[in-house]
Amino acid sequence: TVGVVVRDQSGVTVAGTSTGGTTAKRWGRVGDTPVIGAGTWADERCGLSATGTGEYFIRFNVAASICREAEYRALQTGPEGAAQAAADAMMDTLLADGGDGGIVMLYLGEPVWAMNTPGMYRASWGEGREPYIAIYD
């Protein structure tokens, strides 16, 4: 699975995800990638792309829930750290239920990622920031 989230100079956030799914899938199995709100989400402030065991991301409506939780936390305690806390909380919830994977997101243009696997191919960059690439924790 691959995912890209950008905020352009007009301030518009766009998220996209694409995948081949899971090896040896049967019966036309579809995971979270094409399910808006599960594997991909974008609103006025937040954009997210996910990768993981799709069934959990669908059942927990992960992408939209994390963005909504980030918004709620930002209203309570300010935007700083709100998105990271929301993402971390959701990944912990997924893990507790047996689901695993990771997410990348932009919240108000700030990069956030969270995963509950030791490795995820990920990278971020932005105006006034240095490019950053990581694969492992």
Partner 1 sequence: NDWSIIIHGGAGVIERGDMDAQTEAAYRAALQSALEQGGAMLRDGADGIDVVEALIQAFEDDPMFNAGRGGVFTADGRVEMDASVMIGSTRAAGAVAGVTSVRHPISLARAVMEHSPHVMLAGDGAEGFAAERGLELADQAFFFTERRWQAMESQVQRMGLPVPPRPEGAPDPEPVNEGALDMMEREHRFG
Give dist(CA 98, CA 84) in Å, integer: 21
Q: Does 97 bind partner 1 (CB under 8 A)?
A: no
> Do 69 and 89 form a contact (C-beta atoms < 8 A)?
yes
Indicate the residue among 42 and 74 with the shorter CB distance to partner 1.
Answer: 42
As measured in angstroms, the least distance from the Cβ of 73 to partner 1 is 18
Residue 76 found at the interface with partner 1 (CB under 8 A): no
Q: DSSP secondary-structure letter at 43? A: -
Q: Is 13 a catalytic residue?
A: no
Residue closer to partner 1, measured from CB, 79 or 109:
109
How large is the C-alpha radius of gyration of the chain?
14
* Site membership for partner 1, residue 79 (CB under 8 A): no
Residues 48 and 68 sit within 8 Å (Cβ to Cβ): no
Name the amino acid, one letter, at 3: G
Map residues 33-72 to x or -, x wherever contact with partner 1 holds by CB under 8 A: xxxx--xxxxxxxxx-x-xxxx------------------
**Catalytic hit among 1, 13, 40, 51:** 1
Instruction: Give 59 or 129: the residue with its C-beta nearer to partner 1.
Output: 129
At 63, the amino acid letter reads A
Among 43, 81, 80, CA closest to 65: 43
* Among candidate residues 73, 60, 74, 71, the one with its CA nearest the CA of residue 103: 60
- To partner 1, the closest distance from the beta carbon of 76 in angstroms equals 22
Q: Which of residues 3-32 bind partner 1 (CB under 8 A)?
A: 3-26, 28-32
Active site residues per annotation: 1
